[in-house]
Structure 1
Amino acid sequence: MKKQYALAFDNVSKQFKSRHKTVEAMRNVSLTVEDGEVFGFVGPNGAGKSTTIKVMLDIINDYDGQVRIYGVDAHHAHARKGVAYVPESPALYEQFTPLEILRMALDMYGIRRTDANAWCMQWLERFSVAGNAKRRIRELSKGNVQRVALAHALVVQPRLLILDEPLSGLDPVGRKDVVDILAEYKRAGGAIFFTSHVLHDVERIADRFGFIHQGQLLTVRSPQELAKERAGRYLVRYQGNATDQRAVGTIRNGEFEIELPEAELPAFISQLHANGSHLLSVKPAVSLESVFFQILQSTPV
């Protein structure tokens, strides 16, 4: 019997045609997300992240390949019965209050609760916006609107949570609070598919992460695989001349960064001293950011 995933893409491709050219927004993308798994989706602007989300939500439906949500073809509306989505810039009705927004979510999902108000207030409290429960959305800060949007998604207790830049607009305390809540949701068996430009957030939250570039899913890895692959490699940051063509572009005026295997470190550091450059730091290259830029540099444009 074929395994049923929370989310499964099978060789999905999508092209956009204009008068002058054809753009491959997705090229044979295949991936799966299991119950209780957090999948981070990473890529530069225009890589295909938003198109991927629109495909799974059936906002874009003229594509090749197949998408299934809990075994149901994503072309069917009932595939998204247990799905909640939070866009990068939530467009909540500004004339309503957070409490009304969450009550509306319960109604839209056909959820009838005798304690609906208390249930909604509980979620607003968890996202630290209960004090604004009866203020208009238009009166709230961007960060608080983001919190309300996340509460709006979780109040219906979805099986699959789709998040586009979920920590955008939040301060450090808010980011930690949301990460903790998402961790609880995952432990309860919920699945999460999320995009983020903040690679540190992906490392903190994701069980696996996928890199998409120019519509092509280049790799899918876990933090454990990343640590194993990057063992024995180091990031060297220095100030002075770009002494090696492999050095990443200027970090700030006169500063450069290069990734090297441990065996090359002594010779490179000696070369820096000989050229009058100043060594700033040497640290292990076990980071999503280092892999991200390495993949981008090695991928033909």
Structure 2
Amino acid sequence: MSAAVEFHGVSHTFRVKGKQIQAVRDVSFSLSEGEVFGFVGPNGAGKSTTIKIMLDIINDYQGKVTLYGSDAHQAASRRDVAYVPEAPALYDQFTPLEILRMGLSMNGIKRPDANAWCMGWLERFSVAEYAKRRIRHLSKGNVQRTALAHAMAVEPRLLILDEPLSGLDPVGRKDVVDILNEYKKQGGAIFFTSHVLHDVERIADRFGFINKGQLLTVRSPRELAAERASHFILRYQAEQPLKPTCTLLRPGEFECEMEQSELPAAIAQLNSIGGHLLTAQPAASLESVFFRILAEAS
């Protein structure tokens, strides 16, 4: 069975004001069917460029990209692919129902129950009550929900999402996460970027960390937990840090990462200086690894 997405040594350089900028450099990874791949990195790291290469919006790159075994330069490779950008540009004079109906038509999907089918997806994304209201009158969050419903309504094999949870409130994020998890269980593949690292942890089977165009590492939650199992994050209140590597969060409050074996001595030291322990939590989080990898790469 072919992988949903494969990147082989992909690099791309563009010119800005006469200066050469390398957007991505020798990027290689694969995404399987039924897998969710989270792409994480700071602004300007190359996340959106990678998506544009995947969709052949940028096509003057070096290396090779395939979608389900077909060269990404071929339009046919994207026949079962749906894409939702960070800021969806929907026709604001149309309604959500018209947007979804148009999506079916543009994909050559003919359903006798097209209206009910589209309304069902709008209901799933909690925008059915706005089905006949023009896009220009919807909130940013409801436009995002409409764009996601539009993508799902065409039943893609591969879903490419650039910051899919931006603009959504906590309830909306949970709803979308539940829908994406269901899509994954049905065999769909998802490639998505996000700045909300907690959401990436909840959805992704593997994480790719990119910085300055270079893919630094690809890991699974199991690998993440294993490598950080003995590390803990202490947050405490004191007049001074327990050790120089501790981070000042706010006046009188510090955060420090240490080995589990160091905890008893650290707590004893904290008590001796009149400090107060706030939390002691495992350090096996995407956020802690993300910042450590960025620090090591700099």
Q: Do the structures match in fold with TM over 0.5?
A: yes
- 1:245 alignment partner in structure 2: 244
Q: State the Cα distance separating 1:230 from its structure 2 match.
A: 1.1
> Which residues in structure 2 correspond to 1:134-283 (within 5 Å)?
134-240=132-238, 241-248=240-247, 250-275=248-273, 277-283=275-281
Corresponding residue of 1:81: 79
| TM-score of the pair, normalised by structure 1 | 0.94
Q: Given residue 139 of structure 1, which amino acid in structure 2 is its aligned partner?
A: H
Cα offset for 1:177? 1.1
The residue number in structure 2 matching 1:26 is 24
* Aligned-residue offset at 1:276: 5.1
1:107 to 87, 102, 105: 105
Count of residue correspondences: 297
- 1:69 alignment counterpart: 67
Give deviations 1:123-163, integer Å, cap 9, x for gaps.
11111111111010111111111110000000000000000
Query: Distance in 2 between the 1:45 and 1:268 partners?
Result: 36
Per the TM alignment, residue 244 of structure 1 is displaced from its structure 2 partner at its CA by 2.9
Partner amino acid, structure 1, of 2:190: I
Separation (CA, whole Å) in 2 of partners of 1:89 and 1:98: 16
- Code of the aligned partner of 1:39: F
What is the match of residue 120 of structure 2?
122
Letter in 2 for 1:289: E
C-alpha separation in 1, matches of 2:276 and 2:19: 47
2:80 maps to amino acid: G
Q: Following superposition, which runs of at least 4 residues in structure 1 exceed 6 angstroms of deviation?
A: none
State how far apart, in whole Å, the 1-side matches of 2:245 and 2:11 are. Answer: 33
Give ranges in structure 2 of 5+ residues lacking alignment.
none
Q: Percent identical across equivalent pairs? A: 69
Amino acid of the residue matched to residue 254 of structure 2?
A: F
* 1:35-77 alpha-carbon deviations (Å, 9 max, x no partner): 0000111111111111111110111111111110001111111
Q: CA deviation at 1:20?
A: 5.8
TM-score, normalization by structure 2: 0.95
C-alpha distance in 1, partners of 2:20/2:255? 36
CA distance in structure 2 between the partners assigned to 1:19 and 1:101 by the alignment = 38
For the structure 1 residues 15 and 272, does the alpha-carbon distance in structure 2 shift closer, same or farther, using more than 3 Å as the test? farther
Match of 1:35 among 33, 36, 45: 33
Q: Which amino acid aligns with 1:154?
A: M
Match of 1:46 among 44, 48, 66: 44
Give, in angstroms, the shift of residue 239 of structure 1. Answer: 3.0
